[in-house]
Structures are given as structure tokens and as C-alpha cells.
Structure 1
Amino acid sequence: MIEVIRHGYIHELRMARPPVNALNDDLLGALIEAIEAAPAHGARGLILSGGEKVFSGGMDVPYLLTLDRAGLKACWSRFFGAGRALARSPIPVVAAIAGHNPAGGCVLALCCDYRIMARGPFRIGLNETQVGLAVPDAIQFLLRRVVGPHRAERLVVAGAMVESEQALQYGMVDELTDAGEVVTRAVRWLEELLALPSGPMLATRALARADVIAALEGFAEPELEWFISGWDSPDTQAALKILMARLKK
């Protein structure tokens, strides 16, 4: 589920669940384990990568629809656990986004320190409302933090997906590069960062990212229950059925 590729002291965690790295219990569990184990295996920086055309298609909706309420709650809890693992990582993490990146994949990227995306007709965004899901404040905070409150409101309420150039303009990603070069550029960015005096850099990073950790840790049991309770609403179920029909085609 997760391929670990070593670039010296920088470890790339490549999601490997074809065709689109849809997030389910197994992939999310493997990702959490890999993030948490990396420092002990000599990693000083991490790269989170995915497929060449799709970084991650987000949560595996067909899989979620097979789960009972307990299973659904457990899977979504693991998803937020993966976000917290990225945010709490004691070493910097770069998202290397080589293709489209909707919904849950976008959330994971927003939990990273830095985002590099392929230049071209690739889209990224939190499109949850388009498939009938409300967006919790913890996730909205991640977007507000990088694009500002007003623009975040416009994007998240509409469930907008924007192309890479616009994503760069808005601040959703930090830089663009040619397709096929996102990992190479991620390695170089981390090498430059890790060349700084380690202690001061990591201490400053911890202070700078404390708000990300706090937002995700604030998504506790009551917030999860609120989120899951919306799953069975008529609007959500109708939108999910439309999505399923589209996926079957």
C-alpha cells in the first residue's frame, strides 16, 4: 500500500493502491504506520507522493458504502488520524502532487509542510459538498490557513476544484514544476531546508505548525459523530448515488 523510496536521508512515501489511490482503512493504516516509523529508520524529511495522473482520488466511496455505522466511523477516524500523523510529524513533509487531487487527497496535502504540484490541466480542491458531504471546521481551517478566510469560504462552500496555475495563485500549492519532476523538486526543497541548523529550524517549525496540530486534534469524538450523522441524510445519500453511477460509467 505504501512504497518507501529512499533519497538518502529523505524518504518518499508513495501511495500505491491502483488505480487512483482511493483511501480506505488499509491504505490509511499503512500511511500512518509509515509516517510514524520514518524517523526511527533514519529519515530527516518525508515526501508524500501518489500516482502520475492522480495523487489520490480521496476517500474510497464504494468501499465506504459497504460499511455499517461502526465501520464507517472507524474508517473516517483513521482518515483524520492520517492527517494528524502528517501534521505531528517531527520531520518536515512535502506533498509531491503529480496529478489531480480532490477531497481527501487534498486534505492530506494540506496537512504537509509544503506542496509541489505538476503544471498542467490538473485540478485540486475540497469538492466534498459536490458529493453531498459537509466539510468539518478542522478541514476548513487547513484551507483558510493557506488561502485566507474569504477565499476559503468561496472554494469550500462551492466544492470548487481549481487547476494548478490557479491553485498556485491562491496559495493552495507552493510551487509548480513539470510533470515527472515533482519528487525531484521535493527532494531539493527538503535538502535546502535540512541544510539549516537542525535544532533551531525544527523548533521554529514546531511553533509555526502548532495551529495545524491543534485544529486537527480539536476534531474529537463529538465532531466525528456530527460528521458521521450526516452520512445517512437524504441529500448525502442522493449525491452519493449519483457519484456511484458516474464511477460505474
Structure 2
Amino acid sequence: KSESIRAVVVTGNKKIFSAGADIGLISSSEWNYLKELVEVGQRAFHKMESMPKIFIVVIEGHCMGGAMEFALACERRFMAIGEAKIGLPEVKLGLMPAWGTTYRLPGLIGKSKAMDLMVKGALLNAEEAKAIGLVDEIYPQEEVMAKAMEYARSIAIGATFAIGRIKSCINQSFDLTFKESMELECNSQGEVFKTQDCREGTQAFLEKRSPKFVGK
């Protein structure tokens, strides 16, 4: 909620970003525990999407299962070219992705590709993931973090109040009719129009200078 945080970059271990949930614990647990785990993850990722901040994830190591589901809840995915693999192998354990992926992934890469990825449980390298739109940017290991930070800085110096409203409108649009989406867009533009950033941006344009946005 802090206004001083204007973009969020999430990183992991260079060998294993995250392997997801503890399979041993799941195997020895009752459904009530697993149900709580599923619901907590769903709420956490939904909260990320509901926040006005842009989340950027940097994947330098293996990113599987719940870790990939986390990455899908971010707005931008950067991945290192190399040995790292990304995927949803839950089906190979007799399970399925359940932290919102059956909702998010088809919207990202299309129904057919999403179905194929989940029912096969395939693991993809960076080039393969980029080819189907699973990740947005791929770079050599030594460059990927710097490129992600460069992108984050470009967001952070921007009109982050307007950026937050753009994120909100896009995320809500999947559950709205066209008419409702247009109404939300209009109301959001009204909020953005009243901001200090709007005054600064339009004035800077007229004065032929770079704007200095403050996020409000």
C-alpha cells in the first residue's frame, strides 16, 4: 500500500526459483489441510492482482507448479536462457494446478495451449516458454536481472496512479460485459483526470519537457 513502492520485482534462487509446494507434506495430509492451502494461495495471488502495483518476476532457475502459478499472477515475466525449466507438472502427481491457473493461463496463451501444457505436465526451457507467450522476455543469465530492473524503473518513473487503474481495468474486464467494462474505463479515466500526474503530464507536453510524475 506504500506510495513509495512504485513497482515490484520478485526474484528467486538462480538454480531453483521455486519448486512449488512440499509434495511430501501434501501426500501425508488430509483434504482439509490441502483445501486450506489451495484457498490461501488463491487469495494471495488474487490480492497481488488487485493491487495497483506492477509485479515483475525474474526467473533464473527452475520454476514449477505453484511457483509458476505465482509467476502467472505477475504482470511481466522475465526468464534466463539456460538450463532453467518452467511448467506445471502437477498432473504427473495425480493433481492439478489450483491457484487460479485454469483461469489465468488460457487468457495468457489461449485455451488450446493452456490445456496442452497442463494435461501433459511438460517442462519448457526459456525459448519454448517465450514462443507460446508463457514468459514475456528472455535474456542470457548475466543480463536478465538488469533488463528486468530497467523495465521496472521505466514503470516506476511513470504515472503509477494511471498505471494502477489500467491494471485494474484489464483484470476486471474478464468478468464484465462490454458495457460494464466501458463504464469502468470511463469512471477510471475520471479518477485519473483529477490527479496531479495528469496535470503534470499534459503541462509537460505543452512545455516540451519530460514530466515528473509522483504517482498521485
In the superposition, the TM-score normalised over structure 1's length comes to 0.64
CA distance in 2, matches of 1:148, 1:116: 20
Q: Tell me the residue number matched to 1:115.
A: 77
Aligned with 1:100 (options 59, 62, 66): 62
Q: 2:88 matched to 1:88?
A: no
How far 1:113 sits from its partner (Å)? 0.4
Q: Tell me the residue number matched to 1:56.
A: 18
Rg bigger for which structure? 2
Matches within 5 A, 1:165-176: 165-176=127-138
1:136–1:75 CA distance, 2 compared to 1 (3 A)? closer
Contact 1:84–1:213 (Cα < 8 Å) also in 2: no
CA distance in 2, matches of 1:198, 1:154: 36
CA deviations 1:48-69 (Å, max 9, x no partner) are: 2111111110111112234333
1:55 is paired with a residue whose SS is strand
Q: Which runs of 5+ in 2 are unaligned?
A: 177-216
CA distance in 2, matches of 1:182, 1:147: 22
Aligned with 2:101 (options 122, 139, 156): 139
1:188–1:168 CA distance, 2 compared to 1 (3 A)? same
CA deviations 1:67-101 (Å, max 9, x no partner) are: 33332222222222222222222211001101111
How far 1:134 sits from its partner (Å)? 2.8
Q: 2:169 matched to 1:207?
A: yes
CA distance in 1, matches of 2:113, 2:104: 12
1:101 is paired with a residue whose SS is strand
Equivalent pairs: percent with the same residue? 25
Q: Tell me the residue number matched to 1:30.
A: none
Q: 2:124 matched to 1:124?
A: no
Report the count of equivalent residues: 176
CA distance in 2, matches of 1:201, 1:170: 26
Q: Tell me the residue number matched to 1:68.
A: 30
92-101 or 125-134, which deviates more: 125-134
2:2 is paired with a residue whose SS is helix
Displaced runs of 4 or more, over 4 A: 211-214
CA distance in 2, matches of 1:54, 1:157: 23
Contact 2:38–2:98 (Cα < 8 Å) also in 1: no
Contact 1:93–1:114 (Cα < 8 Å) also in 2: yes
Q: Tell me the residue number matched to 1:35.
A: none
1:41–1:71 CA distance, 2 compared to 1 (3 A)? farther
CA distance in 1, matches of 2:123, 2:133: 14
2:18 is paired with a residue whose SS is coil
Contact 1:98–1:180 (Cα < 8 Å) also in 2: no
How far 1:156 sits from its partner (Å)? 1.3
